[in-house]
Structures are given as C-alpha cells and as structure tokens.
Amino acid sequence: MKNMDISQLVELGYQYGPFFFSILYVVFVSRWAYAKYKENMRATNPPTAERDIATVRAIFVASFTIGVVLVAFSVWWWWAYRPQTHLFRGEIRDLQDYEQLASEGIYFRVEPKATIDGVSLRNEHFALIQVAPFRKGQVFEVEFSKDKSKRNRFPVFYDPSDPYPTFRVEWDENLKTNVLRKDNSLQTLENIFPKIAG
C-alpha cells in the first residue's frame, strides 16, 4: 500500500473514529472468515472434516457478530459524542462610515445600504459559534468606536425567544454616551404584514 494510501486511511480513522474501524473490521476480517469457510466447504480432495467445517463456521459467525456489535457501538458513540455547533446571529443596523465595531469571537459581515440622501449607511450582521448550547441571558461584548473616539463596550444578551435580534447604536442624552438598543421596528412590521396578507 502506498504511503499516500496509508495517510488517507489514518485521516479517515481520525475523522470517523470507531465507525471507520468497525467497517474496516467487517470488510476485511469478516470477509476473510467467510472466504475460509467457503474454501473448506468446497474442498473435495480431500474433503474437509465436519469438525473443521464447524470450527471455520464458528469463526465466521463470531467475526460477523463482533462486526455487527462494533457497528452498533460506533453508531451509538457517534450519536452520543458527535461534534455539535450552535449559532447565534443578529444584526446592528444603520452604521455610518466613521462608526466601527470589533469583538473577540464574534464574526461580522457588512451589508452596504443604497445611498439615497448622500449618507452612506451599512448594516453589520454578526454571528457567534460555540460547541455548547447558548444559555438565556448569556452576554457577549461588542466594542464600538465613533470617528476613532474612545471605545464603548456594548453587552449583547442571548434570548432564545428572539432568534435574530436587531440593534441600533443611539446617543443617550441622560448617560451622555452611545448605547446599543434593540430595534423592534422590524418585529412590528413582521407582526403587521401577516395580518394584512391574511
């Protein structure tokens, strides 16, 4: 077997774990045992003794049974320990050119908006990925800078009842700083239009 073939087998074994090895066992060991059983059954000169045939048959049945058990175990292992990813997505709307976002562990995708009044605006879609399920109230931090000013730190909370939250950055006169507020206008439109369509 070539070195490349061996490396590919190793990679498959690492990727599929017990399932790969159980299939490998069924394909090679069980087929080898069955081939030996057929060979002894067809032997005529001299014919194979009944005791030897029974032994080879027992080896074949045992190898096949072990193969089935291994496959069942590997399926259970895959179901119990399969890798999972959980996704939390949202959107921050109507950002201007001089407004920038940053965060550790949050991915941003820019969606430019059409310019209709000489002002360039954009929406930024964000996504978080983790292997454990998100918890209600779990908080993530987004940094915001306006025209290279001192950064604000906005908390973003996970709420399973809102699968795709939208936000806007607004100026708070009382706090004298920028704040991140939920944008409920899209949810209001979603609630209105189905009623009109119906």
pTM of the full predicted structure?
0.56
pLDDT at 2: 46
Residue matched to tokens 């490998």: 24
Q: How far apart are CA 122 and CA 117, in angstroms?
A: 13
pLDDT at 9: 59
- Check residue 44 and report its DSSP letter: B
Please answer whether residues 89 and 105 qualify as being in contact, where contact means their C-beta atoms are separated by less than 8 angstroms.
no
Q: Name the band, by pLDDT with cuts 50, 70 and 90, for residue 189.
A: very low
Percentage of the residues of the chain whose pLDDT score is greater than 90: 36
Give which of 85, 86, 87, 89 is closest to 164, Cα–Cα. Answer: 89
Greatest alpha-carbon span in the chain: 102
pLDDT at 33: 83
pLDDT at 70: 80
Residue 103 has phi, psi (to 5 degrees) of -170, 155
Give the tens place of pLDDT for each residue, 15-62. Answer: 666 767 777 777 788 888 888 888 887 877 787 788 888 888 888 888
Report in angstroms the alpha-carbon separations of 20 from 60, 69, 70: 21, 14, 10
The overall average pLDDT reported for the chain is 82
Q: Give the other-Cβ count within 10 Å of 177's Cβ.
A: 10
Q: 165 in helix, strand or coil?
A: coil
Residue 158 has phi, psi (to 5 degrees) of -85, 130
- Average pLDDT over every residue of 107-111: 95
Give the tens place of pLDDT for each residue, 61-71. Answer: 888 888 888 87
Q: Give the other-Cβ count within 10 Å of 133's Cβ.
A: 10
